[in-house]
Structure 1
Amino acid sequence: MILRILDDLARVAAGNTPEQLTLPTPAGDFDVWAVRRHLTGGLSYFESAFRDPDAEERGADPHGYAGPDDLDAVIPRLSATLRSALDAGVSTTIVHVPHLGGSFPGATVVDMLLIEAVTHGWDLARATGQRWQPDDGTCEHALAFYRQVIKPEWRGPGMAFGPEFPVAPDAPVLDRLVAFAGRDPHWSPKTA
């Protein structure tokens, strides 16, 4: 599931052009460049965690990234590291991710990565007119994890998530997922 999402994210990231970097995205004040930089930092952090689950410190900070935008290099590196870690059984071990709240079972950290990749993949695809359609099973899994971990105090101005956007209970699962993450599922650059 997660490796397919990372492949899709790599495709969308590779489809971003220099002219698109200043386009708005559904992610609040983040333009395409800011989402890419956020993903570069976050995915580098996850790569570090899966490379060495026991490390107490991580070189990358998932909340910000001050270096160059090398998202196109980070995604395949993360995919390779994650594939090896999954093969080695990381899902059943404890992974230290201090910037994300402590130590968690590897399967939980994989789910943290999943919601990051699905949501921001949608942000980038929507902003740049690309296709983003993870399968319903992946979206259902990600939405269930979101509902389990996102606390009300994490929502609002200046917080990690906006208020949940209202959608019909029978809306497509991807729409419900991005709405739960605080995005308008019908967002387009024209409505920004």
Structure 2
Amino acid sequence: MKVIAFVRKELGTGASRRLRIAGQTPGIVYGGADAPVNLSLDHNALYHALKKEAFHSSILDLEIDGAVQKVLLRDFQVHAYKQLVLHADFQRVDASQAIHVKVPLHFVNAELSPAVKLSAGIISHVITDLDISCLPKDLPEFVEVDLAALEVGHSIHLIDLKLPNGVTVVSQENLTIATAAIPAGKVEPEAPAADAPAPEKK
């Protein structure tokens, strides 16, 4: 995914306000051996790019005045109630250096799980993204969570995930990823009880 930016020479609150009025968003790129560079970006293009999940967890091609460098989106700020992106931060990446980034979890096969098919259970997603470390070339857009074998009363934990090659999880805890339970007010069907013995005659 490509982001086009230009070097921003005027700094300060007033300059940023004028930039936004002109349909631009101030930003910055930092990291690596080069000095930080203040940027201006097309607001509408950035606004629509931020709606795409992959934009937040992919290596981006940042073109600044015609020169392209590899970056990650590290942070952005939006207006409290207006559809306005106030600022965006990008970090340069080195192909030989591991990066630490959050990627979304994609939950699949819930409808095939015993929890849903047999017990009409509800599957809760405890966490929706994951802190990972990997080389830039190994960065996945997302990590898949297969729910096909999940039963009521059971959970999927970090140790159960199949991570892509070259990807490790930053957390040292065996986090709970998803759980399955019977909705409140419903009872799991039970096996029929054995016939009670007949009372003894006196």
TM over 0.5: no
Higher helix share: 1
Pairwise TM-score range, normalised by the shorter structure: under 0.3
For the pair shown, the structure with the greater C-alpha radius of gyration is 2
TM value normalised by structure 2: 0.26
Higher strand share: 2
